[in-house]
Structure 1
Amino acid sequence: MSSAPNTPAEYWDKYKPHRGDEPQQPPAAERFDWTGLPGTGPGAEILGTPKTALDLGPAEGENAAFLARSGVEVVAVDFSPVQTERARGFWADTPNLDFVCADALNFLDEDVRLWDAIYSTWGAVWFTNPDMLFPRIARRLAPGGIFAFSHREPIVGQYGAQQMGGKWLEGRETELTVLRWQHTPEQWTDLLKRHGFTDVSAEVIPSPDGALGTLLVTATNDS
Protein backbone atom coordinates (compact mmCIF):
# COMPACT_ATOMS: atom_id res chain seq x y z
CA MET A 1 0.00 0.00 0.00
CA SER A 2 1.24 3.46 -0.82
CA SER A 3 2.63 5.51 2.04
CA ALA A 4 1.76 8.79 0.32
CA PRO A 5 -0.14 11.19 2.59
CA ASN A 6 -3.89 11.39 2.24
CA THR A 7 -4.02 15.12 1.50
CA PRO A 8 -6.23 17.25 -0.73
CA ALA A 9 -3.07 18.78 -2.26
CA GLU A 10 -2.07 15.35 -3.53
CA TYR A 11 -5.53 14.91 -5.03
CA TRP A 12 -5.21 18.12 -7.02
CA ASP A 13 -1.60 17.40 -7.98
CA LYS A 14 -2.94 14.44 -9.95
CA TYR A 15 -6.32 15.86 -10.97
CA LYS A 16 -5.20 16.82 -14.49
CA PRO A 17 -2.36 14.40 -15.23
CA HIS A 18 0.33 14.88 -17.81
CA ARG A 19 -1.24 14.40 -21.25
CA GLY A 20 1.47 12.53 -23.15
CA ASP A 21 5.18 13.08 -23.69
CA GLU A 22 4.97 16.10 -25.98
CA PRO A 23 5.03 19.63 -24.52
CA GLN A 24 1.54 20.60 -23.45
CA GLN A 25 -0.18 23.55 -25.04
CA PRO A 26 -2.00 26.08 -22.87
CA PRO A 27 -5.79 25.93 -22.94
CA ALA A 28 -7.69 28.55 -24.86
CA ALA A 29 -8.20 31.79 -22.96
CA GLU A 30 -10.45 33.58 -25.43
CA ARG A 31 -13.37 34.06 -23.04
CA PHE A 32 -13.96 34.00 -19.29
CA ASP A 33 -15.81 30.78 -18.50
CA TRP A 34 -17.93 30.12 -15.41
CA THR A 35 -19.53 26.86 -16.54
CA GLY A 36 -16.84 24.62 -18.02
CA LEU A 37 -18.89 24.50 -21.23
CA PRO A 38 -17.41 26.96 -23.74
CA GLY A 39 -19.84 29.60 -24.91
CA THR A 40 -22.37 28.82 -22.19
CA GLY A 41 -23.44 31.46 -19.70
CA PRO A 42 -22.06 34.91 -18.92
CA GLY A 43 -18.42 35.93 -19.07
CA ALA A 44 -16.08 38.39 -17.37
CA GLU A 45 -18.74 41.12 -17.30
CA ILE A 46 -19.96 39.51 -14.07
CA LEU A 47 -16.88 41.00 -12.37
CA GLY A 48 -17.50 44.55 -13.57
CA THR A 49 -14.34 46.52 -14.45
CA PRO A 50 -11.80 45.57 -11.76
CA LYS A 51 -8.23 46.81 -11.77
CA THR A 52 -7.17 43.92 -9.52
CA ALA A 53 -8.51 40.40 -9.13
CA LEU A 54 -7.78 37.35 -6.98
CA ASP A 55 -8.46 33.90 -8.43
CA LEU A 56 -8.93 31.17 -5.81
CA GLY A 57 -8.20 27.76 -7.32
CA PRO A 58 -7.22 28.66 -10.92
CA ALA A 59 -6.22 25.13 -12.08
CA GLU A 60 -4.72 25.65 -15.55
CA GLY A 61 -5.25 29.40 -15.27
CA GLU A 62 -7.17 30.25 -18.43
CA ASN A 63 -9.66 32.58 -16.69
CA ALA A 64 -6.85 34.36 -14.88
CA ALA A 65 -4.97 34.71 -18.16
CA PHE A 66 -8.02 36.12 -19.92
CA LEU A 67 -8.40 38.84 -17.29
CA ALA A 68 -4.69 39.63 -17.26
CA ARG A 69 -4.70 40.02 -21.05
CA SER A 70 -7.56 42.49 -20.56
CA GLY A 71 -5.35 44.66 -18.37
CA VAL A 72 -6.43 43.41 -14.94
CA GLU A 73 -3.69 42.74 -12.39
CA VAL A 74 -4.39 39.12 -11.36
CA VAL A 75 -3.00 36.90 -8.63
CA ALA A 76 -4.07 33.26 -8.87
CA VAL A 77 -3.70 31.06 -5.79
CA ASP A 78 -3.65 27.26 -5.88
CA PHE A 79 -2.26 24.92 -3.24
CA SER A 80 -1.31 22.18 -5.70
CA PRO A 81 2.39 22.57 -6.60
CA VAL A 82 1.86 20.60 -9.81
CA GLN A 83 -1.06 22.71 -10.99
CA THR A 84 0.74 25.92 -10.05
CA GLU A 85 3.85 25.02 -12.02
CA ARG A 86 1.78 23.91 -15.01
CA ALA A 87 -0.10 27.23 -15.04
CA ARG A 88 3.11 29.22 -14.69
CA GLY A 89 4.51 27.41 -17.70
CA PHE A 90 1.39 27.98 -19.77
CA TRP A 91 1.23 31.72 -19.09
CA ALA A 92 4.86 32.69 -18.46
CA ASP A 93 4.71 35.43 -21.10
CA THR A 94 1.43 36.94 -19.89
CA PRO A 95 1.90 40.28 -18.08
CA ASN A 96 -0.09 41.27 -14.99
CA LEU A 97 -0.41 37.63 -13.90
CA ASP A 98 1.15 35.90 -10.90
CA PHE A 99 0.53 32.29 -9.84
CA VAL A 100 1.08 31.62 -6.13
CA CYS A 101 1.24 28.16 -4.56
CA ALA A 102 -0.57 28.54 -1.22
CA ASP A 103 -3.63 27.45 0.69
CA ALA A 104 -6.42 29.95 0.11
CA LEU A 105 -7.10 30.50 3.81
CA ASN A 106 -3.42 31.05 4.60
CA PHE A 107 -2.98 33.41 1.67
CA LEU A 108 -5.95 35.52 2.72
CA ASP A 109 -4.60 35.64 6.29
CA GLU A 110 -1.10 36.69 5.26
CA ASP A 111 -1.54 38.90 2.21
CA VAL A 112 -3.08 42.21 3.25
CA ARG A 113 -3.90 43.57 -0.21
CA LEU A 114 -7.47 44.52 -1.07
CA TRP A 115 -8.95 43.25 -4.32
CA ASP A 116 -11.57 44.77 -6.60
CA ALA A 117 -12.75 41.27 -7.48
CA ILE A 118 -12.29 37.88 -5.85
CA TYR A 119 -13.58 34.91 -7.80
CA SER A 120 -13.47 31.13 -8.07
CA THR A 121 -14.68 29.03 -11.00
CA TRP A 122 -15.27 25.46 -9.83
CA GLY A 123 -12.30 26.15 -7.55
CA ALA A 124 -11.33 26.75 -3.95
CA VAL A 125 -14.69 28.19 -2.87
CA TRP A 126 -16.30 24.86 -3.73
CA PHE A 127 -13.75 22.97 -1.64
CA THR A 128 -13.35 25.19 1.43
CA ASN A 129 -15.61 25.56 4.46
CA PRO A 130 -17.49 28.80 3.73
CA ASP A 131 -17.69 29.71 7.41
CA MET A 132 -13.88 29.82 7.40
CA LEU A 133 -13.44 31.28 3.92
CA PHE A 134 -16.11 33.97 3.63
CA PRO A 135 -14.94 36.15 6.57
CA ARG A 136 -11.43 36.16 5.10
CA ILE A 137 -12.71 37.12 1.65
CA ALA A 138 -14.81 39.91 3.16
CA ARG A 139 -11.67 41.35 4.81
CA ARG A 140 -9.72 41.33 1.53
CA LEU A 141 -12.43 42.63 -0.79
CA ALA A 142 -12.25 46.36 -1.50
CA PRO A 143 -15.35 48.43 -0.69
CA GLY A 144 -17.80 47.92 -3.50
CA GLY A 145 -15.82 44.94 -4.74
CA ILE A 146 -17.32 41.84 -6.36
CA PHE A 147 -17.11 38.31 -5.00
CA ALA A 148 -18.23 35.66 -7.48
CA PHE A 149 -17.98 31.89 -7.71
CA SER A 150 -19.42 28.94 -9.57
CA HIS A 151 -19.73 25.21 -9.03
CA ARG A 152 -21.72 22.33 -10.38
CA GLU A 153 -25.44 22.42 -9.69
CA PRO A 154 -25.92 20.23 -6.59
CA ILE A 155 -27.90 17.03 -6.69
CA VAL A 156 -31.16 17.47 -4.82
CA GLY A 157 -30.64 16.65 -1.14
CA GLN A 158 -26.84 16.61 -1.33
CA TYR A 159 -26.08 19.88 0.42
CA GLY A 160 -23.34 21.02 2.76
CA ALA A 161 -19.99 19.20 2.92
CA GLN A 162 -20.00 16.25 0.52
CA GLN A 163 -17.21 13.74 -0.07
CA MET A 164 -15.61 13.57 -3.50
CA GLY A 165 -13.50 10.50 -4.21
CA GLY A 166 -10.58 9.76 -6.47
CA LYS A 167 -10.01 6.04 -6.92
CA TRP A 168 -8.89 6.83 -10.46
CA LEU A 169 -5.56 8.24 -9.21
CA GLU A 170 -2.90 6.19 -10.98
CA GLY A 171 -0.67 4.02 -8.78
CA ARG A 172 -2.76 4.39 -5.62
CA GLU A 173 -4.45 1.55 -3.77
CA THR A 174 -6.21 3.74 -1.24
CA GLU A 175 -8.81 6.29 -2.16
CA LEU A 176 -8.19 9.98 -1.73
CA THR A 177 -11.21 12.06 -0.81
CA VAL A 178 -11.83 15.76 -0.53
CA LEU A 179 -14.84 17.66 0.74
CA ARG A 180 -16.80 20.03 -1.43
CA TRP A 181 -19.38 22.44 -0.07
CA GLN A 182 -22.45 22.77 -2.25
CA HIS A 183 -25.71 24.52 -1.55
CA THR A 184 -28.87 25.71 -3.19
CA PRO A 185 -29.06 29.33 -4.37
CA GLU A 186 -31.13 30.16 -1.31
CA GLN A 187 -28.63 28.54 1.06
CA TRP A 188 -25.67 30.37 -0.50
CA THR A 189 -27.59 33.63 -0.27
CA ASP A 190 -28.22 33.13 3.44
CA LEU A 191 -24.58 32.20 4.09
CA LEU A 192 -23.24 35.24 2.28
CA LYS A 193 -25.63 37.65 4.00
CA ARG A 194 -24.70 36.16 7.35
CA HIS A 195 -21.06 37.04 6.63
CA GLY A 196 -21.86 40.63 5.70
CA PHE A 197 -22.13 40.47 1.91
CA THR A 198 -24.85 42.38 0.10
CA ASP A 199 -26.52 42.42 -3.32
CA VAL A 200 -26.34 38.64 -3.44
CA SER A 201 -27.46 36.92 -6.63
CA ALA A 202 -27.48 33.14 -7.07
CA GLU A 203 -28.80 31.26 -10.07
CA VAL A 204 -28.43 27.96 -11.90
CA ILE A 205 -27.25 28.17 -15.50
CA PRO A 206 -28.74 25.15 -17.28
CA SER A 207 -26.52 22.79 -19.22
CA PRO A 208 -27.47 22.63 -22.92
CA ASP A 209 -27.25 18.83 -22.91
CA GLY A 210 -29.68 18.39 -20.03
CA ALA A 211 -27.01 17.39 -17.48
CA LEU A 212 -26.51 19.19 -14.20
CA GLY A 213 -25.95 22.88 -14.74
CA THR A 214 -23.70 25.45 -13.08
CA LEU A 215 -24.60 27.43 -9.98
CA LEU A 216 -23.26 30.99 -10.26
CA VAL A 217 -23.20 33.28 -7.23
CA THR A 218 -22.24 36.96 -6.97
CA ALA A 219 -22.14 39.34 -4.03
CA THR A 220 -20.68 42.72 -3.12
CA ASN A 221 -18.89 44.20 -0.16
CA ASP A 222 -20.17 47.65 0.76
CA SER A 223 -18.14 48.09 3.94
Structure 2
Amino acid sequence: MTDSRSAAWDTYSQSKPQRRQTNARGETTWFNWTQYPDHGPGADVLGLESGDSVLDLGCGSGGNVAHLAALGMKAVGIDLSAKQLDKARERWPDVEGMTLRQADALACFGDTSTPFDAVYSVFGAAWFTDPGLLLPLVHANLKPGGVFALSQRPPVEGCYGCQASYIPRGPEEDPAVVKRWDYEPDVWTLILKEHGYVDV
Protein backbone atom coordinates (compact mmCIF):
# COMPACT_ATOMS: atom_id res chain seq x y z
CA MET A 1 0.00 0.00 0.00
CA THR A 2 1.77 3.13 -1.19
CA ASP A 3 -0.94 5.76 -1.29
CA SER A 4 -0.31 9.22 0.13
CA ARG A 5 -2.23 8.47 3.34
CA SER A 6 -0.05 5.51 4.28
CA ALA A 7 3.06 7.59 3.48
CA ALA A 8 1.71 10.37 5.70
CA TRP A 9 1.16 7.96 8.60
CA ASP A 10 4.61 6.43 8.07
CA THR A 11 5.98 9.96 8.47
CA TYR A 12 3.90 10.46 11.59
CA SER A 13 5.27 7.25 13.10
CA GLN A 14 8.80 8.64 12.92
CA SER A 15 7.81 11.49 15.26
CA LYS A 16 6.46 9.12 17.90
CA PRO A 17 8.74 7.25 20.28
CA GLN A 18 8.15 3.61 21.10
CA ARG A 19 5.63 3.08 23.91
CA ARG A 20 7.08 3.07 27.44
CA GLN A 21 8.11 -0.34 28.78
CA THR A 22 5.76 0.04 31.78
CA ASN A 23 3.02 2.41 32.87
CA ALA A 24 2.75 4.18 36.24
CA ARG A 25 1.50 0.96 37.87
CA GLY A 26 4.37 -1.08 36.48
CA GLU A 27 2.21 -2.93 33.93
CA THR A 28 3.86 -4.02 30.69
CA THR A 29 0.59 -3.79 28.72
CA TRP A 30 -2.25 -1.38 29.35
CA PHE A 31 -5.13 0.32 27.53
CA ASN A 32 -5.04 4.06 26.88
CA TRP A 33 -7.92 6.08 25.38
CA THR A 34 -6.35 9.55 25.56
CA GLN A 35 -3.27 11.49 24.56
CA TYR A 36 -2.24 11.61 28.22
CA PRO A 37 -0.28 8.76 29.81
CA ASP A 38 -2.09 6.66 32.42
CA HIS A 39 -5.30 8.64 31.99
CA GLY A 40 -8.88 7.75 31.21
CA PRO A 41 -10.89 4.54 31.48
CA GLY A 42 -9.50 1.12 30.71
CA ALA A 43 -10.45 -1.67 28.35
CA ASP A 44 -13.55 -2.40 30.45
CA VAL A 45 -15.37 0.17 28.27
CA LEU A 46 -15.44 -2.52 25.57
CA GLY A 47 -17.31 -5.05 27.72
CA LEU A 48 -15.08 -7.93 26.60
CA GLU A 49 -14.40 -11.32 28.13
CA SER A 50 -11.52 -13.70 27.49
CA GLY A 51 -11.92 -15.31 24.07
CA ASP A 52 -13.95 -12.44 22.59
CA SER A 53 -12.93 -10.93 19.26
CA VAL A 54 -12.00 -7.27 18.96
CA LEU A 55 -10.82 -4.98 16.15
CA ASP A 56 -8.67 -1.86 16.56
CA LEU A 57 -9.20 0.58 13.67
CA GLY A 58 -5.88 2.41 13.38
CA CYS A 59 -3.86 0.50 15.95
CA GLY A 60 -0.65 2.49 15.47
CA SER A 61 2.21 0.85 17.34
CA GLY A 62 -0.14 -1.74 18.81
CA GLY A 63 -0.16 -1.04 22.55
CA ASN A 64 -3.89 -1.44 23.01
CA VAL A 65 -4.08 -4.54 20.79
CA ALA A 66 -1.24 -6.17 22.72
CA HIS A 67 -3.01 -5.44 26.01
CA LEU A 68 -6.28 -7.00 24.88
CA ALA A 69 -4.49 -10.07 23.50
CA ALA A 70 -2.61 -10.41 26.79
CA LEU A 71 -6.00 -10.47 28.53
CA GLY A 72 -7.08 -13.40 26.34
CA MET A 73 -8.97 -11.67 23.54
CA LYS A 74 -8.61 -12.44 19.84
CA ALA A 75 -7.32 -8.96 19.02
CA VAL A 76 -6.89 -7.69 15.46
CA GLY A 77 -5.19 -4.39 14.75
CA ILE A 78 -5.18 -2.66 11.39
CA ASP A 79 -3.22 0.40 10.38
CA LEU A 80 -2.24 2.13 7.15
CA SER A 81 1.33 2.62 8.33
CA ALA A 82 3.74 -0.26 7.82
CA LYS A 83 6.22 1.56 10.06
CA GLN A 84 3.75 1.71 12.94
CA LEU A 85 3.03 -2.00 12.54
CA ASP A 86 6.78 -2.71 12.51
CA LYS A 87 7.01 -0.94 15.88
CA ALA A 88 4.23 -3.15 17.22
CA ARG A 89 5.89 -6.36 16.00
CA GLU A 90 9.23 -5.27 17.45
CA ARG A 91 7.76 -4.44 20.85
CA TRP A 92 5.42 -7.44 21.22
CA PRO A 93 6.85 -10.21 19.02
CA ASP A 94 5.34 -13.15 20.90
CA VAL A 95 1.90 -12.01 22.10
CA GLU A 96 -0.56 -14.81 21.43
CA GLY A 97 -3.95 -13.80 20.10
CA MET A 98 -2.70 -10.60 18.44
CA THR A 99 -3.00 -10.19 14.65
CA LEU A 100 -1.67 -7.10 12.87
CA ARG A 101 -2.52 -6.14 9.29
CA GLN A 102 -1.72 -3.22 7.05
CA ALA A 103 -5.12 -2.16 5.76
CA ASP A 104 -7.49 0.70 5.19
CA ALA A 105 -10.40 0.79 7.62
CA LEU A 106 -13.02 0.70 4.88
CA ALA A 107 -11.33 -2.07 2.92
CA CYS A 108 -10.65 -4.29 5.94
CA PHE A 109 -14.32 -5.16 6.37
CA GLY A 110 -14.41 -6.63 2.88
CA ASP A 111 -11.76 -9.12 4.01
CA THR A 112 -13.70 -10.52 6.96
CA SER A 113 -16.96 -12.36 7.36
CA THR A 114 -16.60 -12.92 11.10
CA PRO A 115 -18.30 -10.25 13.20
CA PHE A 116 -16.52 -8.80 16.23
CA ASP A 117 -17.61 -8.52 19.86
CA ALA A 118 -16.14 -5.01 19.89
CA VAL A 119 -14.59 -2.53 17.48
CA TYR A 120 -12.75 0.54 18.71
CA SER A 121 -10.62 3.43 17.49
CA VAL A 122 -8.30 5.49 19.68
CA PHE A 123 -7.27 8.59 17.72
CA GLY A 124 -7.45 6.23 14.75
CA ALA A 125 -9.48 5.46 11.67
CA ALA A 126 -12.83 6.50 13.17
CA TRP A 127 -11.41 10.01 13.38
CA PHE A 128 -9.79 9.94 9.94
CA THR A 129 -12.52 8.22 7.89
CA ASP A 130 -15.82 9.62 6.68
CA PRO A 131 -18.32 8.40 9.31
CA GLY A 132 -21.01 8.09 6.64
CA LEU A 133 -18.89 5.38 5.05
CA LEU A 134 -17.28 3.78 8.11
CA LEU A 135 -20.09 3.59 10.66
CA PRO A 136 -22.41 1.37 8.57
CA LEU A 137 -19.55 -1.08 7.96
CA VAL A 138 -18.64 -1.23 11.65
CA HIS A 139 -22.30 -1.74 12.59
CA ALA A 140 -22.68 -4.56 10.06
CA ASN A 141 -19.58 -6.29 11.46
CA LEU A 142 -20.51 -6.19 15.16
CA LYS A 143 -22.13 -9.14 16.85
CA PRO A 144 -25.56 -8.45 18.38
CA GLY A 145 -24.93 -6.46 21.55
CA GLY A 146 -21.38 -5.66 20.41
CA VAL A 147 -19.65 -2.42 21.37
CA PHE A 148 -18.19 0.30 19.17
CA ALA A 149 -16.09 2.90 20.98
CA LEU A 150 -13.91 5.76 19.80
CA SER A 151 -11.84 8.58 21.17
CA GLN A 152 -10.31 11.63 19.55
CA ARG A 153 -9.11 15.08 20.51
CA PRO A 154 -11.83 17.67 21.07
CA PRO A 155 -12.60 19.70 17.95
CA VAL A 156 -11.51 23.30 17.62
CA GLU A 157 -14.57 25.39 18.44
CA GLY A 158 -16.42 26.26 15.25
CA CYS A 159 -14.42 23.80 13.12
CA TYR A 160 -16.69 20.81 12.64
CA GLY A 161 -17.07 18.10 10.04
CA CYS A 162 -14.27 17.27 7.63
CA GLN A 163 -11.07 19.14 8.56
CA ALA A 164 -7.44 19.05 7.43
CA SER A 165 -4.73 17.57 9.64
CA TYR A 166 -1.15 18.47 8.87
CA ILE A 167 1.68 16.02 9.51
CA PRO A 168 5.13 17.67 9.48
CA ARG A 169 7.60 16.00 7.12
CA GLY A 170 10.77 18.02 7.48
CA PRO A 171 12.18 21.51 7.03
CA GLU A 172 12.31 21.30 3.22
CA GLU A 173 8.95 19.61 2.63
CA ASP A 174 5.36 20.72 2.88
CA PRO A 175 3.40 18.87 5.54
CA ALA A 176 1.35 15.85 4.56
CA VAL A 177 -2.37 16.54 4.67
CA VAL A 178 -4.95 14.00 5.82
CA LYS A 179 -8.66 14.46 6.47
CA ARG A 180 -10.25 14.08 9.89
CA TRP A 181 -13.85 14.37 11.06
CA ASP A 182 -14.38 16.58 14.11
CA TYR A 183 -17.64 16.72 16.06
CA GLU A 184 -18.77 17.52 19.57
CA PRO A 185 -20.00 14.48 21.57
CA ASP A 186 -23.69 15.35 21.14
CA VAL A 187 -23.27 15.44 17.36
CA TRP A 188 -21.41 12.11 17.41
CA THR A 189 -24.37 10.72 19.35
CA LEU A 190 -26.79 11.82 16.63
CA ILE A 191 -24.54 10.48 13.84
CA LEU A 192 -24.19 7.11 15.56
CA LYS A 193 -27.94 6.82 16.12
CA GLU A 194 -28.58 7.69 12.47
CA HIS A 195 -26.49 4.64 11.56
CA GLY A 196 -28.37 2.23 13.81
CA TYR A 197 -26.31 2.33 17.01
CA VAL A 198 -28.26 2.11 20.27
CA ASP A 199 -27.35 2.98 23.86
CA VAL A 200 -24.98 5.65 22.55
The one-letter code of the counterpart of 2:126 is V
In structure 2, what is the Cα distance between the partners aligned to 1:37 and 1:19?
14
Give 5+ residue unaligned stretches, structure 1: 201-223
More strand by share: 1
Deviations 1:121-155 (A, max 9, x none): 01111000000000100111010000000000111
Q: Which moved more, 1:169-178 or 1:180-189?
A: 169-178
Runs of 4+ in structure 1 off by over 2 angstroms are 24-31, 170-175
Q: Root-mean-square deviation (CA), in Å?
A: 2.0
The structure with the largest alpha-carbon Rg is 1
In structure 2, what is the Cα distance between the partners aligned to 1:124 and 1:19?
17
Residue 27 to residue 193, structure 1, CA distance change in 2 (3 Å): farther
Q: Is the CA contact 1:54–1:115 (under 8 Å) kept in the aligned structure 2?
A: yes
**Could you tell me the TM-score, scaled by structure 2's length?**
0.89
Deviations 1:79-125 (A, max 9, x none): 11111222122211111001001111001122111000000101111
The one-letter code of the counterpart of 1:197 is Y
Once the two structures are TM-superposed, the CA of residue 14 in structure 1 deviates from its matched residue by 1.2
Q: Is the CA contact 2:13–2:83 (under 8 Å) kept in the aligned structure 1?
A: no
Once the two structures are TM-superposed, the CA of residue 25 in structure 1 deviates from its matched residue by 7.2
In structure 1, what is the Cα distance between the partners aligned to 2:19 and 2:32?
18
Partner of 2:64 in structure 1?
A: 63
Matched residues, number:
192
Q: Is the CA contact 1:135–1:195 (under 8 Å) kept in the aligned structure 2?
A: yes
The answer to whether residue 1 in structure 2 is matched with residue 10 in structure 1 is no
Partner of 2:176 in structure 1?
A: 176
In structure 2, what is the Cα distance between the partners aligned to 1:80 and 1:147?
22
Q: Which moved more, 1:87-96 or 1:191-200?
A: 87-96
In structure 1, what is the Cα distance between the partners aligned to 2:19 and 2:75?
21
Once the two structures are TM-superposed, the CA of residue 189 in structure 1 deviates from its matched residue by 0.6
Deviations 1:151-179 (A, max 9, x none): 0011111110110112x213752331001
Residue 88 to residue 14, structure 1, CA distance change in 2 (3 Å): same
In structure 1, what is the Cα distance between the partners aligned to 2:139 and 2:16?
38
The one-letter code of the counterpart of 2:47 is G
Q: State the percentage of identical aligned residues.
A: 39
Partner of 1:210 in structure 2?
A: none
The one-letter code of the counterpart of 2:100 is F
Q: Is the CA contact 1:26–1:90 (under 8 Å) kept in the aligned structure 2?
A: no
Give 5+ residue unaligned stretches, structure 2: 23-27
